Amino acid sequence: MNTRSLLTAACILTCLSVRGGSAADLPAIPAESIAVKKELLFSDDFQGAEPNKLWHRVVPTFAFENGALKGTQTRDMDIPAMDGKPAVQAHAAVHGLSVPTKDSVVEVKIRFAGARMMDVEFDDRNYTGSHYGHLCRAQVYLDRVVIMDERDGSQNEALNALRKDPDPAKREEANRIRAQHQASFPLAARLEPEKWYTLVVETAGEAMRVTLDGKPVAYFKSAGIGHPTKSKIEIGVAGKDGYFDDIKVWNAEPAKH
């Protein structure tokens, strides 16, 4: 990285440090919705003979099976380059939905089966400040829910560059700021792998709120969540055979409490 790039990254690092909040003390989870539903932008119960054309593969493997969408992680380990074949990096299975939003409510039924993580993510492929335009996501595990501002945290290009800096102090600072842009909320009771749960992810301004079967389970506020052009919604599965069904996406506006 040249001197000019380092200075630019250092400037961005300082700005992110000011914006970021500490996840050490978890924020209170609002009892009421933070987003008011407007028009229904998309719905799919996966009962059609053909998949809706707004769906597209991002990281295989997904399959439409028995009236649901099944995700199976196949890239489950890092494989170094060998025998003329490129290296493979472990990655969750990801399926994309071309539905642009700003503030929204995403509702979907999830069943873990053999999966260890299922998530709803928002991206903007035209945004170059984060890897692949990743903005924010809600990850659901059997024992916790994690909300991540990826734009200013884990996927931020300036922070990722500084994490490779030879100066350990810069690497430590980059990791500290990354950690400030996410929060993990333990669940009161562990989820049952074979049970269906209704997951709702609300984004309103810079805030994201998550409920499971109507119960508020996570809330986080961070600047990247408020990115105004969320061009894609993606759903992901880490592990084997996580199922999605009855997805709905509403345009929304922030609630006035």
Which of 73-82, 104-113, 124-133, 226-235 has the weakest average pLDDT? 73-82
* CATH number for the domain that contains residue 240: 2.60.120.560
- Residue 1 domain-assigned (yes or no): no
- Residue 111 domain-assigned (yes or no): yes
Neighbour tally for 203: CB within 10 Å = 27
Structural domain containing residue 46: 30-150+182-254
* pTM of the predicted structure, to 2 decimals: 0.86
Phi, psi of 222 (to 5 degrees): -160, 150
- Residue 166 domain-assigned (yes or no): no
- For 146-201, write each residue's pLDDT tens digit: 999 999 999 999 999 999 999 999 999 999 999 999 999 999 999 999 999 999 99
Question: CA–CA separation, 6 vs 3, rounded Å?
Answer: 5
- Report how many domains make up the chain: 1
Strand partners for 85: 82
Q: Predicted confidence band at 74 (pLDDT cuts at 50, 70, 90)?
A: confident
Neighbour tally for 150: CB within 10 Å = 26
Q: Predicted confidence band at 92 (pLDDT cuts at 50, 70, 90)?
A: confident
The pLDDT of residue 121 is above 80: yes
- Residue 248 domain-assigned (yes or no): yes
The token pair at 242 is: 């996580």
Residue-level pLDDT at 6: 39
Q: Predicted confidence band at 89 (pLDDT cuts at 50, 70, 90)?
A: low
Question: CA–CA separation, 29 vs 39, rounded Å?
Answer: 25
- Residue 226 domain-assigned (yes or no): yes
- Residue 169 domain-assigned (yes or no): no
What Rg, from alpha-carbon coordinates, does the chain have?
19
- Residue 38 domain-assigned (yes or no): yes
- Residue 159 domain-assigned (yes or no): no
Strand partners for 207: 204, 221
Residue-level pLDDT at 149: 98
